[in-house]
Structure 1
Amino acid sequence: MSELLIVGSEQDNTRLDRFLADQYEEYTRSFLQKLIDQGNVSINGISVKKSGIKLKENDEVSVTLPEPQPLEVVAEDIPLDILYEDDDVILINKPKGMVVHPAAGHTSGTIVNALLYHCKDSLSGINGVIRPGIVHRIDMDTTGVIIACKNDASHNCIAAQLKEHSITRRYYAIVHGNLKEDEGVIDAPIGRDPNNRKRMAINHKNGKDAVTHYKVLERFGRFTWIECRLETGRTHQIRVHMASIGHPLLGDALYGPAKCPYQLQGQTLHAYVLGFIHPSTGEYMEFQAPLPDYFEDLLKKLRQSSAG
């Protein structure tokens, strides 16, 4: 399978491996390097095997990708905390540590494995066998409400609302530090961190528009409980945006301090509200996922320590 990519003005003078990494976020740098080494990448019709070659605006980069290997996703009888379900959609309160769909290193125990067992054949097929029913996802250690679709018409409807930024998405988070303002807006594009493939970053050159609204709910001195409302849904958006203004999420070792004063499994981030226009009825529906126990317990500890 070959794909033709055109180098844009903003990518002029970019290294070939960097360019490919930005285009194919789902692949590792080592996988892309192997493609180059094996002669599967050409520039303006000439095969190249140097990853450091600099590209020019309007260069035509041809990439031959191997045929994807079919991944058999097995239905698993995993309990789901179902907030709502009908013939079109199912809303789930995702627990901490659960991956949304299978990927390298996580081929079982995912939301998809559980959905295949619960819904049988009633899941949209637009995202293929790896992500049936999945229109959006939240990180493994983020908790809260996620929607899946049971047919392609519902999938297209919800996907369109996501693209138009008309879906209501509110999150609770606890961040390091004491925010100066009671509320604010972070408008900064997010893209892959050029220095670390596992991270996203504020990327004005190759990033996509990202907007997060935040509001302070409670202050604890060294930490602050906030509500975030997403206009866009970029990978790690809240984590990257809050870290970019000096207030990374508590427990987030990827974007914040490596050491955490509390015993936590990843970032303190909870998707507590999801609102959308129902695909069949046309009515607005909104669902809330209650705060998980670990979050409630942490708030109690923070209140006690700030009072003391």
Structure 2
Amino acid sequence: MIELLYADDVMVVVSKPADLLSVPGIGEEKKDCLVSRLQMEFPTIRIVHRLDYATSGLLVLALNRGSHRALSIQFQERVPKKRYQALVTGQVGDSKGEINLPIGPDWERRPRMLIDHQQGKPSLTHWECIDKQDNCSRMLLYPHTGRSHQLRVHMLAMGHPILGDVFYTEEAEHSSHERMMLHADQLGLQHPVSGQWMDFNSPCPF
């Protein structure tokens, strides 16, 4: 179920459920998506940024061309503040750190991505470990770049892939979870018209 958190004449903020495309894919079976569902209530809605199919959490969408341009520029200039919560495999040793590793396509296993020191794009993630259990850790993840699968690939490179991730964990680790344990729980940005800073929160469902 899509949760509507904010709406005015120029933008909406929603929390996307896991296992729903942000935009339609290729083929009849991939037409159902966040945008197509929201178009029933907001016919002029435009995507600004995306979450992976398996990721849940906060997204802002524009309702006209001007707000779409203003919001898109914010994301290009990395103005918005984004935070994710994740459950990852194993016990993370340190309490905080950063991962600064370039990411590029895994051409032989698309749509997977990988660390590519030759042709990958610069990618930076800050992280905090806030809880440890017997076989997993709860992480707060702060992406400073927005590469495809960035958090998933960086957690894998750290040796602690995200639980439930069908692309980057072993089958035994993802088949025991009903979803990927990654949720965009905080989003801060400037209103595209007034410029006022706005903070949104979506409680982590796991």
TM-score by length of 2: 0.94
CA distance in 1, matches of 2:19, 2:179: 9
Q: Does the 8 Å contact 1:253/1:259 carry over to 2?
A: no
Deviations 1:272-300 (A, max 9, x none): 011101111111001011222xx1xxxxx
Aligned counterpart in structure 2 of residue 182 of structure 1, from 95, 113, 117: 95
Aligned counterpart in structure 1 of residue 6 of structure 2, from 84, 89, 92: 84
Report how far residue 271 of structure 1 moved. 0.3
Partner of 1:135: 48
Partner of 1:193: 106
Report how far residue 206 of structure 1 moved. 1.8
Report how far residue 262 of structure 1 moved. 6.7
Partner of 1:148: 61
Aligned counterpart in structure 2 of residue 238 of structure 1, from 140, 146, 151: 151
Deviations 1:162-210 (A, max 9, x none): 1111111100000011111100000111110133112101112221111
CA distance in 1, matches of 2:137, 2:204: 16
Deviations 1:17-53 (A, max 9, x none): xxxxxxxxxxxxxxxxxxxxxxxxxxxxxxxxxxxxx
Partner of 2:123: 210
Matches within 5 A, 1:31-180: 80-105=2-27, 106-120=29-43, 122-123=44-45, 133-180=46-93
Partner of 1:49: none
Over aligned residue pairs, what C-alpha RMSD do you find?
A: 1.5
Structure number with larger C-alpha Rg:
1
Deviations 1:205-247 (A, max 9, x none): 2211111110011011321001001101111110000001111
Deviations 1:39-88 (A, max 9, x none): xxxxxxxxxxxxxxxxxxxxxxxxxxxxxxxxxxxxxxxx6310101111
How many positions carry a matched residue from both structures? 205
Partner of 1:302: none
Partner of 2:185: 272
Structure with higher strand content: 2
Query: What 5-or-longer segments of structure 2 have no aligned partner?
Result: none
Partner-residue secondary structure (3-state), 1:260? helix
Q: Quick check: 1:252 aligned with 2:157?
A: no
TM-score by length of 1: 0.64
For 1:229, give the aligned amino acid: Y
For 1:109, give the aligned amino acid: D
CA distance in 2, matches of 1:177, 1:259: 14
Q: Does the 8 Å contact 2:174/2:180 carry over to 1?
A: no
For 1:285, give the aligned amino acid: M
Q: Which has the higher contact order (CA 8 A, sep 6+)?
A: 2
Query: What 5-or-longer segments of structure 1 have no aligned partner?
Result: 1-78, 124-132, 296-308
For 1:160, give the aligned amino acid: I
- When structure 1 is superposed on structure 2, of 98-107 and 212-221 the one drifting more is 98-107
Partner-residue secondary structure (3-state), 2:172? coil
Q: Does the 8 Å contact 1:253/1:266 carry over to 2?
A: no
Aligned counterpart in structure 2 of residue 219 of structure 1, from 132, 135, 147: 132
Q: Does the 8 Å contact 2:166/2:174 carry over to 1?
A: no
Report how far residue 264 of structure 1 moved. 2.0
Partner-residue secondary structure (3-state), 1:290? coil
